[in-house]
Amino acid sequence: MSEKSIIEKIKRDGLCLGCGLCESVCGKDSVEMRLQKNGFFLPEIKSLNADKEKVINEICPGINIVNDLSFGKDEKIWGRIEELRSGYSTDAEVRFHGSSGGIISAIAIHALSTGKVDAVLQVGGDSADFERNTLKISKSRHDVLECASSRYAPALIFDKIFEILESSNEVYCFIGKPCDISALKNFLNVYPIYKSRFKLYVSIMCAGMPSFNGTKEIINNLGANEPVNNLTYRGDGWPGYFSFADNQGQQFKMSYNDSWGNTLNRFLNFRCKLCPDGIGLQADIAVGDAWDTKDGYPDFSEKDGLSLVIARTKAGVEVLTDAQTEGSMCFEELPHFKLAQMQPYQYARRSRVGARVLAYILVKQRTLRFKHLRVWKNLIGVSPVDLLKEFMGTFRRSIKYRS
């Protein structure tokens, strides 16, 4: 493919997140998302359209993360914080089925039941095929619960976004990874006619997207007979188990610490190593795990789920307050210093990512449009030894990377 292809260069340089925006904008006749041998969705280019590719250059979240919410004076790492809480859904089924306290599912159900939105756009899977994660349209509690719990694997998010938006006049709550929210907001800046259709943005906290090859390695290591079904990465407890049934009906499960800690996180997308935002800086509400920590490390022993909840906007505060008044969620306020204790990985990542970005830029000789994220300012005060380790690790990975 010609070097003039912007999409091909994004893919070649390891920056594609597989979201599907390029297929939607350019059209499937020009660009089609396909699952590759490395276990990620990547665009296959059939024909070039210079005008459409210029749009992709402007909105692709792999190279464009532009924070549109300003930082408060005491929120250098964590972004804007209107309110900080920990909590859980008072619906026992929602809490149990969700990845932590069920707060994201509870927000979706609340937004639907109160008429704040007509539908929720969120990622869901296929019980018969774990490689079919796509953007779903949820309109009921049942729909939301079908999409509950984390998916530590790729998903096609925006490959049909025009089709969804043009098929109705519905108003949406959007739930996704931080990079998904960046992608959607970038898209809406270019296609502002759709902005009024999104009333609430909810972000999960994300430590990176593993490939499907990580999932397959766990299945193989457990000795299961494929194909497998009803695969879940977490949920049904906190943090819950990686679990599935094989084609003989035998049940398998693996702890979160073993599945994520020992396998899945070794298969992360290269671009995730450069991520400047794993904490939903652009969302109305960002939700993660309110981990208990021992000696600076999260305690992954099974217990009742508890979510860490950051309301970043007045709209986010309003939703959480209404839900608590209604009785569908239970919260307690948290002091800001608790964030680094509950999410030590995200704290370290936000503090040091500038060293990784700098190494990548030097190796690849290309710019990244990461704006209003404090990528460079957050390096101040970090140990020079730690920064050098981050820099050299990314420097070596960038040299070796091949799409």
Q: Which domains does the chain have, with CATH numbers?
A: 83-210+267-345 (3.40.640)
Strands 369-371 and 64-66: parallel
The enclosing H or E element of 216 equals: helix 212-221
Report pLDDT for 1.
43
Report pLDDT for 329.
97
Region class of 83: left (phi > 0), else alpha (psi between -120 and 50), else beta = beta
Indicate whether 3 pLDDT > 70: no
**Residue 275 dihedral angles phi and psi, to the nearest 5°:** -65, 125
The size of the chain, in residues, is 403
For the chain, give the mean pLDDT: 95
Structure tokens at 236: 């049904």
Nearest to 59 by CA among 10, 112, 108: 10
CA dist 295 to 67, 181, 342, Å?
33, 33, 12
**Residue 196 dihedral angles phi and psi, to the nearest 5°:** -70, -10
pLDDT band at 168 (very low <50, low <70, confident <90, very high): very high
Estimate to the nearest angstrom the gap between the alpha carbon of 172 and the chain centroid: 18
| 8 A C-beta contact, residue 281 and residue 69 | yes
Strands 64-66 and 329-333: unpaired
pLDDT band at 300 (very low <50, low <70, confident <90, very high): confident
Indicate whether 74 pLDDT > 80: no
Q: What digits encode the pLDDT tens for the residues 310-364?
A: 999 999 999 999 999 999 999 999 999 999 999 999 999 999 999 999 999 999 9
CA dist 146 to 39, 137, 140, 230, 325, Å?
24, 11, 10, 11, 26
Nearest to 288 by CA among 323, 334, 250, 249: 334
Instruction: Identify residue 203 by its one-letter amino acid code.
Output: S
DSSP 292-342: -EETTEE----BS--EEEEE-SHHHHHHHHHHHHHTSEEEEE--TTHHHHH
DSSP 50-98: HHHHHHHHHH-TTTEEE--SPPPTT-TTT---SEEEEEEESSHHHHHHS
Q: What digits encode the pLDDT tens for the residues 210-255?
A: 999 999 999 999 999 999 999 999 989 999 999 999 999 999 999 9
Q: Which residues pair with 261 in a beta bridge?
A: none
